[in-house]
Amino acid sequence: MAAQEQGKRPKRVIVAGAGIGGLCCAYELMDRGHDVTVLEASGRTGGHVRTIHDPLPDGLYADVGAEHFTKPGYEQFWKYVEKFDLPALPYPRRLNMLRRIDGKWYTEEQLQDRTVLQAFGLNRREVDFITQHGWTELPLLYFGPYLDAFADEYQPFGAGLDALDEVTAGELLARDGASDAAMRFTGVPRGDGSPAARNSEVSALARLWHQAIIKHRGIPVFQREVFRLQGGNQLMTDTFAAKLGARVRLGCPITAIAHGDGDGEVTVRFREFGEEKRLDAEYLVCCLPLAILRTIPITPEWPECKRYVLENVVYGSQSRVLLQSRTPFWKADLPSINLDTGDPAMYLVYETADEIPGERSVLMGSGSPDVTAAEALTAFEGFYPGRSHTLEQAYVHNWSRDPWASGCERHPYPLGTLKRFWPHIMEPVGRIHFAGSFADNLPWGMDAATRSGNRVAEAIDRL
Report the C-alpha dihedral over residues 205, 208, 211, 216, rounded to 10 degrees: -90
Q: Are residues 281 and 412 in the same domain?
A: yes
pTM (predicted TM-score): 0.95
Q: 299 lies in a domain?
A: yes
Q: Are residues 335 and 369 in the same domain?
A: yes
Q: Is the pLDDT of residue 299 over 60?
A: yes
Q: Are residues 366 and 447 in the same domain?
A: no
Residues contacting residue 182 through CB under 8 Å, at least 6 positions apart: 122, 123, 126, 138, 141, 142, 173
Q: Are residues 131 and 148 in the same domain?
A: yes
Q: Are residues 161 and 125 in the same domain?
A: yes
Q: Are residues 415 and 455 in the same domain?
A: yes
CA distance 148 to 144: 8
Q: Are residues 411 and 311 in the same domain?
A: yes
How many structural domains comprise the chain? 3
Q: Are residues 419 and 301 in the same domain?
A: yes
Q: 260 lies in a domain?
A: yes
CA distance 142 to 350: 30
Q: Are residues 17 and 58 in the same domain?
A: no
List for the chain the helix, strand, coil content (%; round to 5).
35, 20, 45
Residues contacting residue 393 through CB under 8 Å, at least 6 positions apart: 55, 322, 323, 324
Q: Render pLDDT for 136-166 as a digit per residue (tens, 0 to 9).
A: 999 999 999 999 999 999 999 999 999 999 9
Q: 79 lies in a domain?
A: no
Q: Are residues 296 and 414 in the same domain?
A: yes
Q: 100 lies in a domain?
A: no
Q: Are residues 204 and 174 in the same domain?
A: yes
Q: Render pLDDT for 232-285 as a digit per residue (tens, 0 to 9).
A: 999 999 999 999 999 999 999 999 999 986 567 999 999 999 999 999 999 999
Q: 195 lies in a domain?
A: yes
The pLDDT score that the predictor gives to residue 8 is 78
Q: Render pLDDT for 106-137 as a digit per residue (tens, 0 to 9).
A: 999 999 999 999 999 999 999 999 999 999 99
Q: 280 lies in a domain?
A: yes
Q: Are residues 207 and 250 in the same domain?
A: no
Q: Render pLDDT for 384-435 as a digit per residue (tens, 0 to 9).
A: 999 999 999 999 999 999 999 988 889 899 999 999 999 999 999 999 999 9
Q: Could you give the maximum distance between any two Cα atoms of the chain, in Å?
A: 69
Count Cα neighbours of 384 within 13 Å in the Cβ-side half-sphere: 22
User: Residue 411 belongs to a domain with what CATH number?
Assistant: 3.50.50.60
Bridge partner residues of 324 (DSSP) = 362, 393
Question: Based on C-alpha coordinates, what's the Rg of the chain?
Answer: 23
Q: For 118-140, give the DSSP string.
A: HHHT--HHHHHHHHHH-GGGTHH
103, with CB counted inside 10 A (0-12, 13-18, 19+), is exposed
Residue 345: which domain range?
51-73+87-94+225-229+316-401
* C-beta atoms surrounding 138 within 10 Å: 22
CA distance 85 to 266: 36
Q: Considering 216, 248, 271, which residue would you say is the last residue of a domain?
A: 216
Q: 2 lies in a domain?
A: no
165, with CB counted inside 10 A (0-12, 13-18, 19+), is buried
Q: 6 lies in a domain?
A: no
Q: Considering 189, 216, 243, which residue would you say is the last residue of a domain?
A: 216
